[in-house]
Structure 1
Amino acid sequence: MSDRPIELSLVIPCLNEEKTLAAALKTAREAIAASGLEGEILVADNGSTDGSRALAEACGARVAAVRNRGYGFALAAGIQAAQGRYLVMGDADATYDFREAVPFVEELRKGADLVVGSRLRGRIEKGAMPFLHRYLGTPVLTTLINLFFGTKLSDCNGGLRAFTRSAYERMKIVSGGMEFASEMLIKSALAGLKIVEIPCSLLRDTRDKPPHLKTWRDGWRHLRFILLFAPHIVFTLPGWVFLAVGLAVTLTVLPRPVYFGSLRLDYHHLFYSIPLLCMGYQALWYAHFERRFVRFTGLLPEVGGRSKDDDRFSLEGWLLTGSGLILLGVVLLGVILVRWFEASFGSLSQIRQGTAAMLCMVLGLQTIMNALIVSMMELKLNHLSSSD
């Protein structure tokens, strides 16, 4: 064994892959030899019961036992146990040829932080990729990541990747499932890491068992994670549109009927504009929640101290605003009750006034409840900031 330090680690997550593991390890060994670097193969065993672990050791790989079941957990444990400063990840089902990762490592040595293999730009063997994955799932998820996070990828789900250890440490990935792949791209983009994409091949799966990937379950996990990190698209933009349209129609129609040529807008249209206004207002609060949630849970650690948005948040100010709205609504209802009393509890048309009163109270209650929830997360975030 060489005394040179390990520079390249090939990390392979494994769960009962005895049939294909030897083929994967063969191309991994050849990749290390072709790279010219001192390397190692590390198999992150996720609880195999079919002899995969013994086979890996017999083929000269180092094995790390991973207790928590999941693709992301296996990769994270394997990467932690690996010794190299250049890391390559690929699957144990021999659907990727590790020899194709040699150019990936060359890109890392030139300054790239993350190199992603694109199956859609490379060669896909017949039957290697399901129709839905190739023409629906992967293109849609890739488009969303490109749109939301400014990447320029053609395949966000490629499993053959290379990255530096320092880049991985900056990603701070926490996902334990298949969404590990999406989180890696999102965190890299948010951290400003240099991402390079290289075509790679996808070989046909020769196993006689179903793949670990579950199309709809894992597709939803990827989508959920993408949306979690894009509140500006999911909530902020629709929120402002709904709020602006709802508020404009409400303020226009609330005082009196309005005519636009032969079109008459009356109080009936408040039944549409007010829910739109409330939905928009709540969507903006949800965007506020989401920005804090990713920090509250550690999904996106705070960088560079508190933001201006944090400094602007004042629980007391929002509580006063909400209370003021509720009080205004109560006053308006009181005026209606007085008029009803003056009419000897007879017929009284106060639809507009009653609608305005209820709107004020609903917005006030929304404001108070949302502000209290945000303040709960602020307590945790302030505690974490003071303890650093």
Structure 2
Amino acid sequence: MHAHQGFVRAFPALEAMIGGFDSTDMPVVIADARAPGLPIIYTNEAFTTLTGYTAEEAAGRNCRFLQGAGTDPLTVTRIRDAIFAGRPIAADILNYRKDGSPFWNALSLAPVNGEDGRPRFYFSCQLDAGGRRLDLNRLEQDANAMQGEIAAKAQALEISAVAMNQAINEKALLIDELQHRVRNNLQMISAMIGIQIHTLADAPETSALARLHHRVNALCAVHRRLHQPSSPATFDLAEFLSDHVPDVVSAYSDGLVALSITSEPAVLNSASATPLALIFNETVTALLRAMPTGLAGRKLSVELSKSGTAISVTLTGNSGGAPTDDGGSWLKYADHTLIEALVRQAKAAIVWAKIENVIVVEIHIPAEAT
């Protein structure tokens, strides 16, 4: 048991999130923004693995205790200024483990505001970025050296295949680094929104935050799949639907909606992944919100089929005999401006239909997206 769990129990909004933080492999630190010195009130096991300091040893201390002789004062000033201004910041900072060994910490820090609009907590994710920094430094040095070499060879029309392959490989490494950072930032944003939802409880803006939360989670799911080394340029739509739709149903239903998903293998190019993922997140959310709550017999089905290289997905919401909404106003549950923009971006087509207590949405994905 962590020595500072008593601090966390004093804040129910934090306690609701602790289970997820305890199980993640990303180091997480939460500090009290209202106490002098911004003392740490929570660290997870991943933090102990990274730094060597237990939760008991970190509790009550300021995160500055990880700094040392080699820490860049300018970076420290940037972080301090961001905290003073109450704004988020991401920075690489040289920290030191309990055994004295240095490590590069890819720090992401952001405030969580209380009901009065002022920071109540500071939430940070930390990653050992040493290997990536060494790779990036080496790549930068190699790229600078190659620039002159390639220019000379280009003038003489003697660019070798070896040099070109090396440039391609280095570009792939840089893209991988960018995707890694984007994915980590999305995970942090998702966690921050989750904390804010619990902090606000039943406030009017909670519903909008919940919808934003699932949009960010959909983006997290996309980047998690695009980050697979085996197929970085493709996106498995069937796998995404099987994983993400049940999460949305769990969040927006009362446990009485039966879900069925049938699909054929469907792999898309990465350029179509983000808009299509958000389209499915928005349509599934709209179907669930249009159903009356508390009634048994409600169903949601997702069917993915292929015709050649084109793909069609049919989503059917059945309210179990009760009308989904009066006079077709169920359309109000869908953000049509957002969906239409995403459909244009994906070069897809979408058709909505309502027959008594059933709403059907058909999404057609063109062959060029596969």
**TM-score between the two structures when normalised by the length of structure 2:** 0.28
| Higher RCO (CA-CA < 8 Å; seq separation 6+) | 1
Greater percentage in strand:
2
| Structure with a larger share of its residues in helix | 1
Structure 1 length as normaliser, TM-score?
0.27
Bigger Cα Rg: 1
